[in-house]
Amino acid sequence: MKTEGFVLVKNGTSQEAFNLQEITLNSLESDEVLIASEAFGLNYADVMARRGLYREAPPLPCVVGYEVVGTILEVGSSVSKEWIGKRVVGFTRFGGYAKHAITKVDAIVEIGSIKASEALSLATQGVTAYYMSELVSPIRKNDHVLIHAAAGGVGSLLIQLAKNRGAIVYAKVGNQSKVEHCKQLGADFVVDYSQSDYESKMVELLAGKLLDVSYNPVAGSTFKKDLKLIKTTGKVVLFGGSELSGSKWGILSQLNFVRKMGFFTPIVLMMKSLSIIGVNMLKVADNRPDVLKDCLENVFELYQQGKLKAVSGGEFTAEEFCKAHDLLESGKSTGKLIVKW
């Protein structure tokens, strides 16, 4: 079928990279559903794709986007027709920046009248936070936990999940305007790295202790700093490389990014009983869709129980699409940014 979407036609700024144009969707496979989208979410991986720094992105031209909220119009032959007309949030393996999207039935959850901004804030970000803090590296009571980009979509939810577990949370942010936001979510300490070196500040706050876990979507130079702050039996969970965004020198910037992270032998991890864990939710979705679905359902259950607050960072119209993308890239946003058709 024909529909419209924001097509990534070239790498660069949001204004030059995207074009709103007609696109053609494939026919439904047996286990798929067609969603008429009312809104879609923005993720930092989309910014990386726009800048040509995200290896998983499809070749250009393409439609990126990981999640939508909308109503199911059609279903595949093996999907119950009872889904038709249901309002859902659904993961898309790209294709989310369009007025219609196709996805697997196992990648959707019925949401009823939940606001699109809240449902989308619980999708990619919620599942990522839940997967890391409950499955990959379950937080224990009194753990000392560092959360980078703590005011963002994933970070805002990680703070809450960690506090639900009884952890002591250190929230790292990039400006003073985000400090109160993190405190309201329950962070015990907030470190503004624009004011001082976060490693030095963390040493001061830890007062002789070390971290049990760091959740890090920045990588680069922060990785080696985190390793110094982690105790024996501790973990560094890497789920992004935002320090690379904004780089101007192509392959040289990428090589420098790797250099900053340093090189080490796995024997060090064994001797110190340390763990370095990489998380790529796209790969999880491809290889363990059952895990993704379980995480999504559990996140929405926590939300409905009042144990997890959805954190919206702003709603934008389709005409404001580039403005929303620029805000996300700037690092000045908090919570989840969405675009409504």
Percent of the chain at pLDDT exceeding 70: 93
Across 66-80, average pLDDT: 97
pLDDT mean over 242-246: 56
DSSP-derived secondary structure for 18-61 = EEEEEEEPPPPPTTEEEEEEEEEE--HHHHHHHTT--TTSPSSS
Q: Which domains does the chain have, with CATH numbers?
A: 2-122+310-340 (3.90.180.10), 125-282 (3.40.50.720)
Give the integer Cα–Cα distance in Å for 28 and 84.
Answer: 14
| Residue, of 82 and 253, whose pLDDT is higher | 82
Whether the per-residue pLDDT at 308 is higher than 50: the answer is yes
Arithmetic mean of pLDDT, 201-206: 96
Q: What is the pLDDT of residues 125-150, one digit of tens each?
A: 999 999 999 999 999 999 999 999 99
Q: What was the pLDDT predicted at 98?
A: 98
Question: What is the percent of the chain where pLDDT is above 90?
Answer: 77
- Output the six-digit token pair for 144: 């000392």
Q: Using CA atoms, how far apart are residues 190 and 172, in angstroms rounded to an integer?
A: 6
- 72: β partners: 35
Report whether 321 contacts 338 (CB < 8 A).
Answer: no
Quickly state the pLDDT bin for 255 (edges 50, 70, 90): low
| The predicted structure's pLDDT at residue 240 | 80
**What does the pLDDT read at residue 204?**
96
> What's the average model confidence in pLDDT over 204-210?
96
pLDDT of residue 33: 98
Q: What is the mean pLDDT of the chain?
A: 92
pLDDT at 334 over 90: no
Which residues are CB-contacts of 246 (< 8 A; sequence separation ≥ 6)? 51, 329
**pLDDT of 241 over the 90 cut:** no
Question: Is the pLDDT confidence value at 254 over 80?
Answer: no
In three-state secondary structure terms, 200 is helix
CA–CA gap between residue 107 and residue 68 (Å, rounded): 11
Are 338 and 316 contacting, i.e. CB atoms less than 8 angstroms apart?
A: yes
Q: What is the pLDDT of residue 256?
A: 53
**Span 205-229, average pLDDT:** 91
pLDDT band at 249 (very low <50, low <70, confident <90, very high): very low
